[in-house]
Structure 1
């Protein structure tokens, strides 16, 4: 199946200096996402249900990546799982983006239904950009980051750590700019980074966790491991000691990993 989508879009994100630009129609949120490389762009669509009530189609969540082609941009669905639905790589549809002109504030999206969405879901409509200073922006950002967090957890549980990181990366970069904070998302993303051999990045997010949620004891261990992997043994030793002290203070000495004790010596 193909979508034909007309997009009024400023694709390189320079006007907003953002990793995520949020658009909204009457039924759908659209998060346009830029990864660490400017030529890698993805998007999360959340919504599509026109009617309300128990008999209406359930909202759908889809994520796709864009690739430059002579006609404009092609897009293919990325595997995605939310708490209400999901689809795998084998169920990908083909999508064609036709770029009519650049416009910073609007997207016109015209589409057929996707096979992965409930019958009746419809993403067609006019989308307006939601600027960061507009009331409601934080709530919309919260919705989008949480569905991507759920997806990242699913990837991590099946040992696909790199996809877990990629699913959240644009939103986590943007969260630092927006001063958005969710202790579970920050802690888990830091752990994903550490497990994905990205200790320096992990330190950045886990430091936020212990500064803003000093009672989050596992974060000290994750941060210590990240410093250790990054080669900063002195700072790692400090964090291991803090973790051991906190665990002992709770009477949880038996649950302290041996490496944490060994690396304080």
Structure 2
């Protein structure tokens, strides 16, 4: 039986005591917090995609094995590879780690992806002629979507908090007008990832190049942003449900609420219980 993160297996890492050994696993988990599902814009740790973390060997050159799982066996190979590759990169960067093995379980391309990761073949080396030229454009597209959703969350909070503010006027809201908190922090981080200005005087509602919208285009731009945010939140809710259905007990590894998202976005959506049929 493969251990879940709640049943994590930690072998001798050259340190004494269960607390020290658990600390090594927590270091790995914290590193994996930085790996996002590119479509859902949530950490793979909070989504429950980390199935197990194993650590063995000496404390200064430990071997780490991470197993990942996804909501279905047919999740996009592009996304699956990106998450697995990013996981290997962030764990390899830990100073006490000497070897990293990341394996994707129960996916239709698991063998191909795992072999490519083991050989450090890269995306094109892994998928050959089926690969796109690079994953850079894919990363950029989803960073932009994540920024759009974060932007809409902040502006919707402002509209709810200030009855005098109308949708037609949200184009004048600046970063400095936003209250401090997780929603604003999420927006600032996503702007930084895109190289957009984060000064207090920077306008919140901007296009992908950081340009504010003309006043007459503001309502439509906000509605498009809201559509993007609802799509991301809905997909995340759907995938969380699929994972819980596919892997019993995996809900215990899922965060209650993703960064920046409203609890209501998840609480009021219909629960899905779709099951895979295996021959």
Q: TM-score range by the shorter chain?
A: under 0.3
What TM-score results when the alignment is normalised by the length of structure 1? 0.27
Of Structure 1 and Structure 2, which has the larger fraction of its residues in helix? 2
What TM-score results when the alignment is normalised by the length of structure 2? 0.26
Of Structure 1 and Structure 2, which has the larger fraction of its residues in strand? 1
**Structure showing greater relative contact order (alpha-carbon pairs closer than 8 Å, 6 or more residues apart):** 2
